[in-house]
Copies of this chain bind each other. A is one copy, B any other.
Amino acid sequence: MLPRGRPRALGAATLLLLLLVVVGFFLFGRDPEYGLRAAATFDGDPNGSRNRSASGLQSLLPPKCEVSPPQLLHVAIVCAGYNSSREVITLVKSVLFYRKNPLHLHLVTDAVARNILETLFRTWMVPAVVIRFYDAGELKPVISWIPNTHYSGLYGLMKLVLPSVLPLSLARVIVLDTDVTFSSDIAELWTLFAHFSDKQVVGLVENQSDWYLGNLWKNHRPWPALGRGFNTGVILLWLDRLRQTGWEQMWTLMAKRQLLTLTATSLADQDIFNAVIKEHPELVHPLPCVWNVQLSDHTLAERCYLEAADLKVIHWNSPKKLRVKNKHAEFFRNLHLTFLGYDGKLLRRELFGCPNQLPPGAEQLQQALAQLDEEEPCFEFRQQQLTVHRVHITFLPHQPPPPRPHDVTLVAQLSMDRLQMLEALCRHWSGPMSLALYLTDAEAQQFLHFVETSPVLSARKDVAYHIVYREGPLYPVNQLRNVALAQALTPYVFLSDIDFLPAYSLYDYLRASIEQLELGSRRKAALVVPVFETLHYRFGFPNSKAELLTLLDAGSLHIFRYHEWPQGHAPTDYAHWREAQAPYHVQWAADYEPYVVVARDCPRYDPRFVGFGWNKVAHIIELDAQEYEFLVLPEAFSIHLPHAPSLDISRFRSSPTYRGCLQALKEEFHQDLSRRYGAAALKYLTALQQSQTRA
């Protein structure tokens, strides 16, 4: 390509220059560390193939875990309420799945979301993720003057105030809506900051709908925007520059000015961002469309994704969310469902080459697990006891009960195979419930569908469902009970099991009994609810004690486990109960495991009992050791419905090792009892030894 016939001097100069240009390109045109390796991808292709090497791809990404600042990526999300809290977890899962960098999540939350997410992240223990919460309540006054008709309500506007809310030391942040899903490494998005000019402060993807063109319907008057405007579901926010340019004053003035002629924002923060950008187009850095593929109702996103080599972020910005109609909806839903059902515990993986960034407690846990001996026969029990399950409290919208001094919450736990009990339980118990569900991530979604399609369940807002995510081979029954118990919000709790249906009157009767017995004062009592069982799964549930006694005499009902395990309920003294008109005292005896009503601050269940066996017995011992009186209620009853034996019961019955391990747990429990209660605990040990002699 060099022009021919020029003098030699020029030719020599040319060569020199060429050299200089090439050297200069390597020296200055690229990052000294990443440029060279990347350059290797431009090797000539000896085979004439159009393929390009991918080995240099990684080198274009930000350094992973060195000490310089870019290693840590900051992400801010506004999240409020029960449904958004579920949504944000799926978003976070998708980010964690692809990420290779440490993350700092800045979560602006209301009290509900904070409560849920704090518990979740504490129990999730993902390495190299730092979480910080910001109180959305405090921000409300700053934005509540803006009339807004968007479905996200006030929270939609909070992204506007992030520059003043986030720490001053924070220069840049990625801001995400809760309804986006990643299908790529978020570090790739972070690298786009490097493309900002000096003036640009906000990176946004163009809006993929005609909304801002103002021609969607007659008299459609959107807020002003540049062309189609920009979508604020994914934002790169250059915070320190925003602060320097007087962002707060800028958007406030703009909003006030527009509100002189427009009634309210329809799209919350997005209207205001766009109005500001229309006036100051130099502020915006347009991002490639794949970073916010918008699946709104009348989306034009196809123009983006059909040509794109790869989708990076999907945005479910229709109020219909996953149910949005779209030619390729199935494709996008599958990407999203991947993370909805993804087992979050698999995201607890460390980042190689990063300094140790274990969350609180994780290191001790790792050490404790590492010390277990895999060859030990009770290894599975030890491991299960140490397992920290992810917990998602109040998975569904919930209305906490109003404060009432004698109110009582039914507390129970279940897994997927008992879902069909919930409707009947709701019919029998009209009061608040706190239920722990032991589910996989995928099952939690099935459960959600189950509740949504059940008129009975979806009508009840006083039932709180807490998901404890499955992990390990043994059923962590007492850990589940403790989660449900800890989340009960009334002064009293009825500690039940999911296979029991209480008498229809029980809720009212218990509250009346609590009041009459003056449990509200410092009286430590456990009110015993006598339990029965039926072997028929369709039977006429008795409406009164009289009806129950008739069924009992007819042999349609039995005292619960009267034949298999009489000692479990013998102390309740069913003969006495038949005739009783008033509550009566009973004494603890070995293996007693009644269903009781106690104050919410009662002792917790001993989490060492995993799988089948002795989990309630130990709790009742604990109550007795703490000098709870046992008072049997004369009109209370609850009936156990039949079900197939659980896997754990089957294992207990078939495996001597399993029984041996349970025995070891019992002994350890008694040692702990002696330590805590001294001589007073002696009677439990004696009882245990006697029962072993009998067996």
Contacts and interface: CB of A to CB of B under 8 A. Distances in A.
Contacts of A28: 1
Contacts of A30: 42
Interface string A318-347: 000000000010110011011001110011
B650 A420 contact: yes
B353 A307 contact: yes
A56 B191 CA distance: 11
Contacts of A2: 20
A428 to B, nearest CB: 15
Interface stretch (A530-538, A546-554, A683-691): A530-538
Contact of A644 (B38, B346, B642): B642
Interface in A409-442: 416-421, 423, 440, 442
A309 interface: yes
A46 B643 contact: no
A50 B34 contact: yes
A37 B51 CA distance: 14
Contacts of A14: 13, 17
A536 B52 CA distance: 69
Contacts of A644: 417-418, 420-421, 499, 537, 641-644
A349 to B, nearest CB: 5
A352 interface: yes
Nearest to A338: B346
Interface in A357-375: none
A20 B41 contact: no
A33 B185 CA distance: 25
Interface string A28-72: 111101110010011111110111111111111111100010100
A248 interface: no
Interface residues of A, number: 111
* Most chain B beta-carbon neighbours within 10 Å: one of A35, A60, A342, A641: A60
Nearest to A415: B417
A188 interface: yes
A196 interface: yes
Contact of A352 (B45, B305, B420, B535): B305
A241 to B, nearest CB: 10
- The DSSP consensus for interface residues of chain A is loop
A259 interface: no
Contacts of A456: 654
B29 A52 contact: no
A452 to B, nearest CB: 12
Contacts of A473: 449
A192 interface: yes
Given A348-B334, A352-B305, A100 B310 contact: yes
Interface string A1-31: 1100000001001100110110110001111
Interface string A650-673: 100010000000000000000000
A542 interface: no
Interface in A63-94: 63-64, 68, 70
Nearest to A345: B334
A43 B31 CA distance: 10
Contact of A337 (B35, B70, B343): B343
Given A63-B50, A335-B349, A45 B440 contact: no
B535 A54 contact: no
Contacts of A642: 535, 537, 642-644
A376 interface: no
A64 B198 CA distance: 36
Contact of A50 (B10, B31, B197, B309): B31
A577 interface: no
A515 to B, nearest CB: 35
A68 B54 CA distance: 19
Interface in A268-316: 288, 305-310
B50 A68 contact: yes
Contacts of A349: 330-331, 334-335
Contacts of A189: 54
A523 interface: no
Given A343-B442, A473-B449, A100 B309 contact: yes
A649 B442 CA distance: 22
Contact of A420 (B55, B188, B306, B647): B647
A41 B60 contact: yes
A350 interface: yes
* Most chain B beta-carbon neighbours within 10 Å: one of A20, A38, A195, A538: A195
A308 B13 CA distance: 41
A18 B420 CA distance: 76
A54 B188 CA distance: 5
A50 B64 contact: no
A670 to B, nearest CB: 28
A195 B43 contact: yes
Contacts of A499: 644
A21 B20 CA distance: 11
A564 interface: yes
Nearest to A331: B349
Interface string A119-132: 00000000000000
Contacts of A1: 20, 23-24, 28
Given A29-B44, A442-B343, A537-B645, A59 B52 contact: yes
A194 interface: yes
Interface in A445-487: 449-450, 456, 473
Contact of A46 (B197, B335, B416): B197
A306 B347 CA distance: 19
A346 B328 contact: no
A646 interface: yes
Contact of A47 (B10, B33, B193): B193
A413 B440 CA distance: 23
26 contacts: A13-B13, A13-B14, A17-B18, A30-B42, A31-B45, A38-B41, A41-B60, A47-B196, A49-B193, A51-B61, A52-B62, A53-B192, A54-B191, A56-B60, A57-B60, A305-B352, A331-B349, A334-B349, A420-B645, A420-B649, A421-B644, A423-B654, A442-B442, A449-B473, A535-B536, A642-B642
Which 3 A-B pairs rank lowest in CB-CB distance, beginning with the nearest?
A535-B535, A54-B188, A58-B309
